[in-house]
Amino acid sequence: MKSAPLECRGRWTAAGINNKVTNDYAPDQYGARDHDPVAGLDLPPAPVTPATVELNFLGINDFHGRIDTNTVLFAGTIEKLRAAAPGATAFLSAGDNIGASLFASSVAGDQPTIDVLNTLELKASAVGNHEFDGGWADLRDRVAAGGGNARFPYLGANVYRKGTPEPVLPEFTVLEMSGIKVAVIGTVTQEVPSLVPPAGITELEFGDPVDAVNRAAARIKAEHLADVIVVENHGGAGSGTPEGATLEQEAAAGGPFAKLITETSADVDAIFNGHTHKEYAWDAPVPGIEGKTRPIVQTGSYGENIGQIQLTVDARTKAVTGHKAGNIKRTTDASADLVAAYPRVAAVDAIVRKALAEAAEIGNQPVGGVTADITTAFTPATDVTPAKRDDRAGESTLGNLVADSLVGALQPPELGGAEIGVVNPGGLRNELYFAPDGTITYAEANSVLPFVNNLWTTSLSGAQVKTLLEQQWQTNADGSVPSRAYQQLGLSRNVNYTYDAGRAAGDRITGIRVNGEPVDPAKAYRIGTFSFLATGGDNFRIFKDGTGTDDSGLVDRDAWIKYLKDHTPVAPDFARRTVSVANTTAAAVKGGDAMTLEVSRLDLASLGSPANRSLAAVFTDAAGTSTPLGTVPVASGAATVHLAVPVKAAAGAATLTLTAAESGTVVKAAVQVAAGRT
């Protein structure tokens, strides 16, 4: 056997290993050693370059400051996956690491979360919309690497200085992984201006994320800056298709996600998503290359899963030749075992313990109580997935309770004189659980409304209130449909309305009642809400047309906690304030004629909500005479109502009232009775 060249003497680096491995006298693949006759020493052969290199990417999205007892399990999952990987690992994020955080993180300005991600050696993160909650200056000067506390770069290829094509954040970063250069491009949803207080981002503009990715990818390839490209895009599937939809269904729904799938440069090898809090791991076709696919992953939210994409790279050509992708659920191993096994987890444990201890001084103080769970809407459980919180397309006991609290806080004339409370579903970031004894602590209450918005009032006409409810079917300012195509507002208990989603846009709301009376299109109604909504947030742009807009000076958290103290214990109200009604009753009916309605979505999806079994029908004619019409069966929250107008009903405007048992939901339908009878 030939002697190794002199320059091969000494240490060598094993390809494909995270940390450099050295071996002064390594046998070759047959167990033999080279021999140096001059020095009289056995020397290692030149290392054999492997044919392929394995790259392991671990991704999170929408962590939202989850500093609690699960944080160590989250860290342990990352470390277990890192240890089990055959090749180099990069831990990445698709944004919203901070903001809308649990109390232990939010009370400390999210510093504990940043410290945890630093400790776990996060390599890069896309900027999320919640990174802008405190405004651009806070992100630039305090949070982001270079001017703040994060030791990882925040990437935003589509975040521009206003009026220029100049990105204000790095477009991408390049990682060295086992001899392969990997570029990570970061982008954020173009909807940021509708998702954060506008005053904090006046210097910025947000462009199309796919266009920005393609521009950055073209530069990376043209300048030979990297071999592999991974995209971290804070945007994802969720254009209106049901939970559990396929990639093909999501693409067919159109919108930003469809463009991401069909127009992202073929030079991109893998995509991580965020923002919509959905969970998927799909093999997406690469546009323009027949038969080629690439992985696209979103983990859900809150560190409940770790997304994993593994790429196999040809060591000679540096081309990706294979991939695997999936979501790995957070481990249930004992925290103590994880702390003992992994130094990074031990460091995370210390950060979490300190943060929880400091937060407990304020957070453990009781502020009220509940008689039962009061929660956001939950998506239904399936055979493979449990029910999940935060279905923003569903009415909830929590959203309605918070709306009631807004009226309670802002009703005094000197604080705005609110008549109606309105809550956006994305403002509700945690639940009020009864366990273990019904007590609600300061921290638990704060976690429901962590944004520290001021409470505002404004006046909308009855016609504008209808427009407000129509805007729940979301459109961006340019008319495009955002990633969340429907957002269900929470409303105070004095407001009820019916809708028919099958009607044309702008004509879906079929009836609104305030304090039991039909809304007057010309009358002004005083609305109490968060400053975020009052300035047109979440595409509820009609608020910008409000008059007499006033800042009460109250902070949402403080007013909410006062409401809980003053009304303890609070109970869930399972009566819906909005019901779907497809009414095919004739425009004018006579005594004996049929009234026909298809009623659906009678059951709430909040925890503990009862299943309704029947509707009790009462007809009230123009003379005020009420006639019970019996009951109509309800199944799966829906009922077909086919009842006759009382033969002796007085002519004029009448009302059919349907009251659901068990929830107490009341549905009112206007009926016009003509003179005479059939």
Report the mean per-residue pLDDT for the chain: 91
Question: Environment class of residue 47 by beta-carbon count within 10 Å: exposed (0-12), middle (13-18) or buried (19+)?
Answer: middle
Q: Which residues pair with 329 in a beta bridge?
A: 305
Q: Are residues 402 and 306 in the same domain?
A: no
Within a domain: 365: no
So what's the pLDDT on residue 384? 78
SS (H, E, C) 347-387: HHHHHHHHHHHHHHHHHCCEEEEECCCECCCCECCCCCCCC
Domain boundary among 512, 534, 566: 566
Q: Are residues 161 and 208 in the same domain?
A: yes
The confidence band for 14, taking pLDDT boundaries of 50, 70 and 90, is very low
pLDDT tens for residues 332-381? 999 999 999 999 999 999 999 999 999 999 999 999 999 999 999 999 88
SS (H, E, C) 24-61: CCCCCCCCCCEEECCCCEEECCCCCCCCEEEEEEEEEC
Q: Are residues 584 and 475 in the same domain?
A: no
Q: Are residues 406 and 284 in the same domain?
A: no
Within a domain: 639: yes
SS3 assignment, position 110: coil
Within a domain: 369: no
Within a domain: 362: no
Q: Are residues 136 and 265 in the same domain?
A: yes
So what's the pLDDT on residue 12? 28
Tell me what percent of the residues of the chain surpass a pLDDT of 90: 83
pLDDT tens for residues 589-620? 999 999 999 999 999 999 999 999 999 999 99
Q: What is the mean pLDDT of residues 125-136?
A: 95
Within a domain: 361: no
Q: Are residues 260 and 315 in the same domain?
A: yes
Domain span at residue 308 reads 52-354
So what's the pLDDT on residue 607? 97
So what's the pLDDT on residue 199? 84
So what's the pLDDT on residue 29? 34
Residue 652 clears pLDDT 90, i.e. is over it: yes
Q: Which residues pair with 640 in a beta bridge?
A: 598
Q: Are residues 306 and 412 in the same domain?
A: no
Spatial separation of the C-alpha atoms in residues 620 and 454, rounded to whole Å: 43
Within a domain: 137: yes
- CATH number of the domain to which 347 belongs: 3.60.21.10
Q: Which string of DSSP letters, residue by residue, matches 248-310?
A: HHHHHT-SHHHHHHHHS-TT--EEEE-SS--EEEEEEEPTTSTT-EEEEEEE-STTSEEEEEE
Residue 28 clears pLDDT 50, i.e. is over it: no
pLDDT tens for residues 482-520? 988 999 999 999 999 999 999 999 999 999 999 999 999
Residue 188 clears pLDDT 50, i.e. is over it: yes
Lowest mean pLDDT among 30-39, 116-125, 624-633: 30-39
So what's the pLDDT on residue 17? 30
So what's the pLDDT on residue 100? 86
pLDDT tens for residues 211-222? 999 999 999 999
Alpha helices in 87-208 (DSSP H): 103-106, 111-119, 136-138, 192-195
Residues in the chain: 678
Whether residue 526 contacts residue 416, with contact meaning beta carbons closer than 8 Å, is answered with yes
pLDDT tens for residues 232-257? 999 999 855 566 789 999 999 888 99
So what's the pLDDT on residue 198? 81
Q: Which residues pair with 589 in a beta bridge?
A: 673
Q: Are residues 422 and 450 in the same domain?
A: yes
pLDDT tens for residues 49-70? 789 999 999 999 999 999 999 9
Spatial separation of the C-alpha atoms in residues 555 and 560, rounded to whole Å: 9
pLDDT tens for residues 451-488? 888 899 999 999 999 999 999 999 998 999 998 899 99
Lowest mean pLDDT among 29-43, 259-273, 299-313, 354-368: 29-43
Within a domain: 544: yes
Q: What is the mean pLDDT of residues 522-544?
A: 95
For residue 177, which of 16, 395, 34 has the smallest C-alpha distance? 16
So what's the pLDDT on residue 5? 34
- CATH number of the domain to which 616 belongs: 2.60.40.1930
Q: Are residues 557 and 641 in the same domain?
A: no
Q: What is the mean pLDDT of residues 570-579?
A: 98
Domains contained in the chain, number = 4
For residue 317, which of 463, 179, 164, 479 has the smallest C-alpha distance? 179
How close are the terminal C-alpha atoms of the chain, in Å?
110
So what's the pLDDT on residue 22? 32
Q: Are residues 144 and 60 in the same domain?
A: yes
pLDDT tens for residues 386-407? 889 999 999 999 999 999 999 9
Spatial separation of the C-alpha atoms in residues 550 and 534, rounded to whole Å: 9
Within a domain: 360: no
Domain boundary among 540, 566, 592: 566
Q: Are residues 464 and 511 in the same domain?
A: yes
Strands 495-499 and 578-583: parallel
For residue 404, which of 605, 608, 195, 567 has the smallest C-alpha distance? 567
The confidence band for 42, taking pLDDT boundaries of 50, 70 and 90, is low
Q: Are residues 521 and 534 in the same domain?
A: yes
pLDDT tens for residues 255-275? 899 999 999 999 999 999 999
Whether residue 129 contacts residue 201, with contact meaning beta carbons closer than 8 Å, is answered with no
**131's tokens:** 């990174």
The confidence band for 7, taking pLDDT boundaries of 50, 70 and 90, is very low
Spatial separation of the C-alpha atoms in residues 16 and 177, rounded to whole Å: 8
Spatial separation of the C-alpha atoms in residues 312 and 324, rounded to whole Å: 9
Q: Which string of DSSP letters, residue by residue, matches 294-310?
A: EEEEEE-STTSEEEEEE
**588's tokens:** 């004018």
pLDDT tens for residues 82-111? 999 988 999 999 999 999 898 999 999 999
